[in-house]
Amino acid sequence: GQQVMQIPQYQHVQEGEDFTTYCNSSTTLSNIQWYKQRPGGHPVFLIQLVKSGEVKKQKRLTFQFGEAKKNSSLHITATQTTDVGTYFCGGILTTDSWGKFQFGAGTQVVVTP
Amino acid sequence: DSGVTQTPKHLITATGQRVTLRCSPRSGDLSVYWYQQSLDQGLQFLIQYYNGEERAKGNILERFSAQQFPDLHSELNLSSLELGDSALYFCASSATDRGTDTQYFGPGTRLTVL
């Protein structure tokens, strides 16, 4: 089954609003990566977090890695229509081999103008 | 453009058949990952190869196999196809075999099994 869980599965946002998507694992993660997949496209790397409690920002996007390294969040402020897509988190469980990358099921974001 | 190429773009076949999907990694990348993306299933990790050797395995069915060749391109073989194998198959490449590298995804191969 899915080892990395993402919520919500779907997010409908009004343009200009903020929202947060969450990523949770029952097992400690060595790292967490976030990818964005536009409709009809392929996943594109956004960012990686490796340290406990780490916070990184990319313009309107804020990424956080939990203190226990079991969860992460992506917060988008002032949502724009260009934010439409599915956001995936993923990482390596500390109990797995280095190459066994586990992705969550993704949060599909729809933006209403 | 990620620099990762996948062929074919689309593949339509019948149940029971066998197909081969091909992936060429970015120049300089030694690692190739294969993923299956079905509706509502996210990206399911299948297998990883590094410099010709299998390094990690996910929930890959026994009917599926993969290999990485000396020129680093990789092929995913799917046999005895079932309707449920219909999905988008992505390969991704990274520089090393470590899961902390950025993965660069190809455009995917859409497989339809009728």
Q: What is the pLDDT of residues A57-70, one digit of tens each?
A: 999 999 999 999 99
Q: Which residues of A are less than 8 Å from B98 in CB distance?
A: 98-99
Angle at alpha carbon of residue A58, lines to A43 and A3, rounded to 5°: 45
pLDDT tier at B100 (50, 70, 90 boundaries)?
confident
Q: Which amino acid is it at A50?
A: V
Q: What is the pLDDT of residues B30-64, one digit of tens each?
A: 999 999 999 767 899 999 999 999 999 998 999 99
Q: Which amino acid is it at B114?
A: L
Q: What is the pLDDT of residue B65?
A: 97
Q: What is the pLDDT of residues A79-96, one digit of tens each?
A: 999 999 999 999 999 888
Q: Do A100 and B2 touch (CB under 8 A)?
A: no
What is the mean predicted confidence (pLDDT) over A3-13? 94
Q: Which residues of B are less than 8 Å from A45 in CB distance?
A: 102-104
Work out the number of other CB atoms within 10 angstroms of the CB of residue B64. Answer: 20
Q: What is the pLDDT of residue A1?
A: 63
Closest CA to B103 of A1, A48, A67: A48
Q: Which of B41, B44, B99 sits opposite A30 (nearest CB)?
A: B99
What is the mean predicted confidence (pLDDT) over B82-109? 94
CA distance B108 to A44: 13
**Torsions phi, psi of B22, nearest 5?**
-120, 145
pLDDT tier at B109 (50, 70, 90 boundaries)?
very high
